[in-house]
Amino acid sequence: MFFQSGPISRGEHSKQLAIIAKKLATNQIKNVITLAGAGISTSAGISDFRSSGTGLYHQLNKFDLRCAEFIFDYNYFQSQPASLYSILRENFISKTMHPTATHCFIRLLAAKGLLKRHFTQNIDGLDLKAGVPRERVIEAHGTLHRSYCVDCQARYDFEWLATKLDAQNVPTCDKCQGLVRPDIVLFGEPMNFDFEFRFVYHYNSGSRDFTKCLICASAYGKRT
């Protein structure tokens, strides 16, 4: 059975939450899979992609591109990395981000031994910051908390990236001065193999080793 937090009425949403809470409280749910999208982080001050007036795609209008999504394109990043880093700095790196109630709920599922797997489309790493166990988290689009040099493959953490971006528009490698990019999936690149493999395993192989799937603020099936 699937419960989706998406374009439904407030009343229906409340009913779904009440059903879930009751089943969790009475141990009727044993294994849970969560699928999370950008909406679970908006209350942390992080923009989603498509919200009118505030979404990332709206913010990209200032770059005067024929297609706003070019900013997140692999080939465009190779030639104009400063544009992507401008968006990442403004929306993620320069902010103090804290997990939301939804992140904490997912952590609670894990703490109670109910969380089978947490699939996320988000790159903010707030699920891990909330305390969701690393081995339960599958990042479809990677994370800003890892970055690497495209030339020598030297790897860096989020703190290094944030410090570098305070000093320069495009971070360069400490070892070889090559371009450093965040470990996120750009348009034109394959999705995280671990995500695809485990997603297929859970949904297409007939191995339904879970009792509930909670879709949290996401339209899975769309690439955002």
Amino acid at 131: G
Phi, psi of 35, rounded to the nearest 5 degrees? -120, 115
What's residue 219's pLDDT?
52
pLDDT band at 68 (very low <50, low <70, confident <90, very high): confident
Q: Whose structure tokens read 């005067």?
A: 64
Among 103, 141, 145, 202, which one carries the catalytic annotation? 141
Q: Is 213 among the annotated ligand-binding positions?
A: no
* Contact assessment for residue 159 and residue 192, using Cβ atoms and an 8 Å cutoff: no
**Chain mean pLDDT for the chain:** 84
Q: Are strands 32-36 and 212-216 parallel, antiparallel or unpaired?
A: parallel
In whole angstroms, give the CA distance from residue 186 to residue 66.
Answer: 18
Which domains does the chain possess?
1-46+99-141+193-224 (3.40.50.1220)
145 tagged catalytic: no
State both tokens at 208: 């339904």
- The answer to whether residues 151 and 178 touch, using CB atoms and an 8 Å cutoff, is yes
State the average pLDDT over residues 48-66: 76
CA distance 205 to 208: 8
Amino acid making up residue 57: Y
**Does residue 193 carry a pLDDT above 80?**
no
Is 152 annotated as contributing to ligand binding?
yes
